[in-house]
Structure 1
């Protein structure tokens, strides 16, 4: 098998990989990009996402960005070790260098480089704006590329091809070439057989949401009760993580969880999300409520509610909206499915359509209605209109479900991306299990671990672009690691 020489080899052609390729090229490198998909389907999850960014302007991150990332529950690490991570990295001892928590330096770099990275992307024809979100209520500020993630993929791919970046589509990276502890290239399989590309490597090929075996390994039987949120996720089968772990890389993030989004299981459309549940009630296959539908702003809470949905029988729940709830302004914008609701002229009719026990559904609704209290309903933000004496409670927007006809939508947990991944530093270098950088190996995007118990919304594309750019530049200019 002949080896083709490059300076930098990027695995993956989503926003992280394309940012890495263009950044490496700007730094003078000869660059190749490998992507499992064909040219028309490349881009992974980026191709299908609206790509919201946790930014309050093109130059300023949202005020809560650092607090949300660093405040994510990460278990109960040793506080003495955690305190040590605040010191200069050069003074870290072994436990400090390897503790599995969010890296402060990584977060600081994300904040510092977010604005400059978005400005850099505008140089490739990408435009950003404060576009409407699908969330009924929001807790933070957001922007998005005009045209969503597809616009990012198309603009960056077009530019990369124009400047001479070589693309290997329909090609799956399988193994890192390691020599003397340094990564020297990638071996893979393409339409014409085996390929070997030499150079420093940037891994940007997503998580493992498209791999049922890894989902079962890390998530147990719950792995069967989710699916990738869009077709791009089916290409993400975890080889990038596996080959790096085989080369001694350390892991980060929570391998037992994933970014969950509530979608209509009947739909094959990308992100057929249903975010309207704060204005109705959720029942399971037994016809019973099982969670607080409205603990706070939907953009901050939908993932946690969706996880509870996944834990129900067959991993499905039903959102029930009465005629009054369907009058909430813009509620249709938070129901993204292309399929119609299940409609009942009364609760027994609805129960038949949902195939849930009618007696249980009637009892559930009666108990809920009896627990609702007078107050002012305000759809625009958490209104404190809560149930009283009901378990589980509903903390906001609690109005009786009485006005027929009743509409219902099934909801399941879709897997946007997996949380577990590779440990990297602020330079996008992949670290080994002793906390040392692996020479010649960089990573960015969803295959790098950052999240532990809850996804900080609108950060995935942002960090992919930021650390893809950093990783490509550093791979191109690495000293002491021959390409």
Structure 2
């Protein structure tokens, strides 16, 4: 076991009441919750300040909460003149729980889920009271209608001002106001255990190894998605080739440290959150400048083909935020782990500008499908047949409406269940995508307050977990925005006891 029973005698030893390991959304939330209770808190961030923020920095900031519509969100979201022309449907706790069960095929922990959905809004309001800022995510979750109004869809309506970068900026400012000691360049490696209780951590810094003692340790250091060997071992062959969307520091160190002292594994270690990710842009891993803009999430409007020119999934199975986290895996299975999203001239204006008009986007444009196939290195006849068969199968009597599941289907194999539009008007646009891994679903097992459990189901005294380290909420897929919400809810819960 990794433990230092004589840590008190170390020349490099510090003492604090609460240690939080990991400086992303969950870690900061846990630190805030402990600090407002008057606890002395030290937050350890593996990265230096210019690389800090964990995966949270790389997100769009979308956070899924239960609510009763736009009136219920007043006082939480920033004012916007568009509110007067906006419809935000209620998203109840029952709908939230049903979505969690649907996308995970019932493999989500029911107790963790119940806490997540019931405390999601109140936790965001608490963070807002501390100084975090939220808004309605018009550019991601609503299309402007012909009359100038907006209809939000998919249960995901609220996000941070400034996206992930704004989220971490707000958290960092609040931490300073609360007197939290944030230590950058502090890589936690093992846990200190005294008389069966977790009593601190051993960290590596530029000045060498040191021991920090505490009454409680909260682990929020993410999953193991940034370690190719761990990915290959637990997710399977080929996953070592996935692109790391977020922080390069989530290598499973603290999961291993917790397991080494007897923590039980939690959640689904064989699946993860993965998306369609720009395949060919230079520096398409852990890009601090482009962050989430390297995703390609307007795919429900077009078609996706592999390098053989064939469709292989239902692009319109559901709203984007219920399918995007599992389709990266489907791309990984294709020849060369590459596919192409294809749109025609009529669809191109509807694509998200933040993603499809970013610098150096992998975009291929051609006046004809034949020319497009040639530029992509795809067999011309195969691509033309795929597009022709798709176009001819569309029920064009149903109008296209991307704000609802319009049942405008392409009745072909594989079916496209909604938003089927013919690919027939040049010029044609193709975007190369591969698999971008976001975070792994397996972690450590804990109760609903983040108290880490051993194999016998008993608490490991002094040890808590939250964020992506907390296993059990997700499996195979997840509803967009529920990861940041879970980090907030269970970070706050862990910090309220630590």
Taking structure 2 as the reference length, the TM-score comes to 0.84
* Equivalent residue runs for 1:55-70 within 5 Å: 55=65, 56=67, 57-58=72-73, 62-63=92-93, 64-70=95-101
SS of residue matched to 1:430:
strand
Q: Counterpart of 1:461?
A: 484
Equivalent positions of 1:266-305 (< 5 A) are 266-267=280-281, 268=284, 269-271=290-292, 272-305=294-327
Q: How far apart are 1:216 and its partner, in Å?
A: 1.1
| Conservation of the 8 A alpha-carbon contact between 1:136 and 1:275 | no
After TM superposition, the score normalised by the length of structure 1 is 0.87
- Are 1:382 and 2:392 matched, yes or no? no
| Aligned residue in 2 for 1:424 | 446
Distance 1:444 1:61 in 2: 24
Are 1:433 and 2:455 counterparts?
yes
- RMSD of aligned alpha carbons: 2.2
Query: For residues 354-369 of structure 1, what are the structure 2 equivalents within 5 Å?
Result: 354-369=376-391
For 2:270 and 2:389, locate their aligned partners in 1 and report how far apart those are by CA, in whole Å.
35
Is 216-225 or 167-176 further displaced after alignment?
A: 216-225
Alignment of structure 1 residues 174-193 onto 2, 5 Å: 174-193=189-208
SS in 1 for 2:245: coil
Match of 2:237 in 1: 221
Residues 188 and 194, structure 1, Cα contact 8 Å, conserved in 2: yes
How far did 1:228 drift? 1.9
Following superposition, the deviation at residue 327 of structure 1 comes to 4.6
User: Helix, strand or coil: the match of 1:383?
Assistant: coil
What secondary structure does 1:299 align onto?
helix
In 1, Cα distance between equivalents of 2:388 and 2:52: 50
Contact 2:156-2:481 at 8 Å conserved across structures: no
Aligned pair count? 446
Which residue of the other structure, out of 34, 38, 63, is the alignment partner of 1:53? 63
Give the distance between the partners of 1:221 and 1:188, measured in 2 at CA.
32
Query: 1:101-180 residue pairs with structure 2 within 5 A?
Result: 102-135=108-141, 138-180=153-195
- After TM superposition, give the deviation of residue 301 of structure 1 in Å: 2.2
Q: Which residue of 2 aligns with 1:413?
A: 435
Shift of 1:266: 2.4
Q: Is the 8 A contact 1:225 1:314 kept in 2?
A: no
**What residue number does 1:210 align with?**
226
> Is 2:278–2:362's contact at 8 Å kept on the other side of the alignment?
no
Task: Give the conservation status (yes or no) of the 8 Å contact 1:273–1:336.
Answer: no
Q: CA deviation at 1:336?
A: 6.2
Structure 1 residues 71, 251: closer, same or farther in 2, change over 3 A? farther
Which aligned pairs between 1:279-358 and structure 2 lie closer than 5 A? 279-328=301-350, 332=353, 335=356, 337-338=358-359, 339=361, 341-358=363-380
Q: How many Å separate the matches in 2 of 1:281 and 1:136?
A: 21
- 1:242 has 2:256 as partner: yes
Hey, what does 1:39 align to over in structure 2? 49
Partner of 1:259: 273
Q: Using a 3 Å threshold, how does the CA distance of structure 1 residues 421 and 133 change in structure 2: closer, same or farther?
A: farther
User: CA separation in 2, counterparts of 1:141 and 1:213?
Assistant: 34
Deviation at 1:334, TM superposition (A): 6.3
* CA displacement, residues 365-389 of structure 1 (integer Å, 9 cap, x when unaligned): 222233234323323222222223x
Tell me which residue corresponds to 1:4: 14
Q: What do the CA deviations read for 1:326-350 (whole angstroms, capped 9, x no partner)? A: 254x654663643152011212211
Deviates more, 1:372-381 or 1:245-254: 372-381
Gaps of 5+ in 1: 76-100, 476-483
Cα deviations across residues 176-223 of structure 1 (Å, max 9, x unaligned)? 111232111101111100011111100011111111111111122231
The corresponding residue for 1:22 is 32
Structure 2: which 5+ residue stretches go unaligned?
A: 1-9, 77-89, 144-152, 285-289
Q: Secondary structure at the match of 2:307?
A: coil
Find the partner of 2:417 among 395, 398, 404: 395
Q: Is the 8 A contact 2:366 2:372 kept in 1?
A: yes
Task: Give the distance between the partners of 2:327 and 2:169, measured in 1 at CA.
Answer: 34
Contact 2:279 2:362 in 1 (8 A): no
Is the CA contact 2:400–2:421 (under 8 Å) kept in the aligned structure 1?
no
Taking a change above 3 Å as real, the CA distance of residues 154 and 303 of structure 1, as seen in their structure-2 partners, is closer
C-alpha distance in structure 2 between counterparts of 1:293 and 1:72, whole Å: 16
- Per the TM alignment, residue 241 of structure 1 is displaced from its structure 2 partner at its CA by 0.9
Q: 1:33 offset after TM fit, Å?
A: 1.2
Task: Tell me how far 1:13 sits from its aligned partner.
Answer: 0.9
Q: Do the aligned residues in 1 keep the contact of 2:62 with 2:156 (CA within 8 Å)? A: no
Q: Does the 8 Å contact 2:276/2:324 carry over to 1?
A: yes
